[in-house]
Structure 1
Amino acid sequence: MKHLNYLFRHNRRKFLKDISLAFGATALGMPLVSMATGPAAGAAEKEQQAGQWGTRKRKLGIALVGLGNYATNQLAPALQETEKCYLAGIVTGTPSKAAAWKRKYNIPDQNIYNYETYDQIADNPDIDIIYVVLPNAMHAEYTVRGAQAGKHMISEKPMATSVADCQRMIEACNKSNVKLSIGYRLHFEPHNLRVMELGQQQVYGPVQRIEAADSFVMSGNPDRWRLDKKLAGGGPLMDLGIYCVQGAIYTMGQTPTAVTAKFGEVTRPDFFDEVEQSIDWQMEFPNGAVADCTTSYNKDQNLLYGKADKGWWRLQPAYSYSGIQGETSAGPMNLSNVNQQARQMDAFAECILENKTTRVPGEMGLRDVRILEAIYEAARTGKRVEIKV
């Protein structure tokens, strides 16, 4: 519970205030589920109790832990389109969210948890998979506890804020004999899959150079968890730059051997008093290719570019939830956009149902966090840092 204890001590974040409200409710003897009412929810309860889930029961049930923007606007809608899994439960520290989600998605009372009752999920046969969508520093704790409850786990990226926590997550899942996957949705997106083919199969010859950039302008209230170093682990590198790291690696099909990096100037200290505003870095690969990467919370960029001996390719935007576009030196890619999150979650459900290995395992998340740590070290020291993975 160390992260929740930290949250109570730092209640200036809205996220943390929500959790505090939830604990207050339970302390007053008012369980979250008692706040959710409505005929649709009651019908869903009766249907479940009667064992009449129909074809949906043949899908695997997913519980989302943390009902922030990504879970609300991406994962939950995607779970309405999935074929092998469905939204079975939620874990939230906000009573009003519990009530709203129950009504909207007909979630039975017994499938609604808060952060105090989370471990009771072990006794729920409706839930097969837990997807942790909490602030980065909380991924490890809730993945470990979910694995100990006997559930298969998905951790949103970055996997954790330290290599040690990544290793702890992997060990917990191995010990409980459950599968662990990381929320790397772009491994299921057609344009990025095409980049993997072009680079790894050397369609235009060996890759010489990669450019990757992912940035947006952080606005609004600076009082948010993504700007809190203890919760986020860092700034845009942890949030957006990890897509650049991923993009370069799956273009090459290789792990970088060394990195150099430099923090950008802080022009908005009211926002960036704890985490970096921007950072540029260069990764070196075993074949001599280099990847020049940049990420920022103060500009708009979204690019993955590769140049080989006999051609080039570009995705722009490259990492968005939709609207990805690609072209090569031979012409447009002409590929469809898909629901990336639905494909990602269906693929993991298939791995469980057919006992296959996920293409985005915990070991991949561990590798990437090790690289992120090397980038930060290079930026702090000004030295070239070798990456040992």
Structure 2
Amino acid sequence: MRVLISSVGTRGDVQPALALAQRLRDLGCEARLCVPPNFVAWAQGLGFAARPLGVEMRAPRPGVAPPPVPDLITDQFETLQAAAEGCDAVVGAGVHQYAARSVAERNGARYLIAAYAPVSLPSADLAPAGRAVAQQEPAEIQRRWQAARRGWNDRSLGRVNLNRGRLGLAPVDDLLDHILGARPLLACDAWLGPAPRAADVEVVQTGAWLLPDTAALPPALDAFLAAGEAPVYLGFGSMPAPYETNLALVEAVRAVGRRMVLSAGWAGFARIDDAPDGLVIEDVNHQALFPRVAAVVHHGGAGTTTAAALAGAPQVVAPLFSDQFYWASRVAELGLGAVAPSALDSYELARALDAALRPAVTARASAAAGQVSTTGADTAARIVVEGGRSA
């Protein structure tokens, strides 16, 4: 069986796609990938055929003009159509898949789509991704979904239908309905992010698609961890952030009397002085690092939230946009940590850190590690192979 997996976005979007590809290969399938250009080498290094899709999602580089942006919808259609030859199934990993269903239809392949967060799926009980609104009324949730549908259609429906016409396919009326189909997969942990109770579609929750990582930690990091009390991890992954955020993070950790590990990430976090209480790292194995830290301070991406919960580490979430507000609310509701304001200052962050490091919270976070399933990608791979769930 040949399966084409399409993923766009940052590392948090692509890593689950690679996890699914590995499980499909374990089941004897040929998995092909279309991923952003900066992740092609990663996919190929894992032994998969991979093509560049769209543009590199990366924070702006000082003094470097951004490359011209192509028509990303047309690019998806052209890239996926070229890659889908001979494929039995096309899987969209993440909901921003403007071409995957059309390419599957054109090639007679099955189509499956996976959302990474419950707030990506229209429902009567969860508003779409965006800034969190506490205790939303049903009428407000409905209004926000109507606005979200209009946004999808206004921005992209015309170009999707233009490209469908080029493939000899009929136009569609509602883009979000077209992308999600009748039975989308929900690729997040059922305890951390349960499926909406009143979804407009039949949701099939697989669990999070986790990519096993056996890489050792760099020697300098391993030595730093061993040299004293467990530090606080600070990292915003693929999110940009100003220097003021870097400063606030360092000052807040010092205010609670902890050492720190700063993940540079796309924000370029760095030490602000030569004090021995901090270490700056690049990308490392979170599965090896998070069990050895006192708390994880992050932006609220689905992958980091899941990795911290699986490690039993308390969390402080400072959401910036989209589903990050949802994951921040879940961390608070489950008692796994605290939420900090998006506009971070050292005082508010220190308060949140102090709350997350309290013994009752650390105990809950430690106990929660056993609640998170690690079999989501296996479940999804079996669904793809068995053909039981498709749009």
The TM tier, using the shorter chain, reads 0.3 to 0.5
User: TM-score w.r.t. structure 1 length?
Assistant: 0.37
User: TM-score w.r.t. structure 2 length?
Assistant: 0.37
